[in-house]
Amino acid sequence: MRKLFNRLALRLAPFTVRIMGADRTYTHKAHTYADALQWAACYPPSWGRVVITGRFGRTMAERAQA
């Protein structure tokens, strides 16, 4: 039951952080905008473009590849 609850909570997380690298795309979910920014800060600009989107797909922030 706990596993199901955790999956549901992640699915309802309002922010998605995508790091689009040359070889693959990394995705993280965040419940607050501050958490989303912390996930984005974990990856250096040389890894690729970072896009933070809201629950309905609206782009909230974007960082280009350096």
What are the pLDDT digits (tens) for 40-57? Answer: 999 988 888 999 999 888
pLDDT at position 17 over 90: yes
Q: Which residue has the higher pLDDT, 64 or 52?
A: 52
**Nearest-angstrom CA–CA distance, 20 and 27:** 9
The pLDDT assigned to 20 comes to 92
Task: Say if residues 15 and 29 touch (Cβ distance below 8 Å).
Answer: yes
Distance in angstroms (rounded) separating the CA atoms of residues 14 and 36 = 10
Kindly report the pTM of this predicted structure: 0.77
DSSP 8-state secondary structure symbol assigned to residue 31 = S
The separation between the first and the last C-alpha atoms of the chain, rounded to the nearest angstrom, is 43
d(CA 20, CA 53): 13
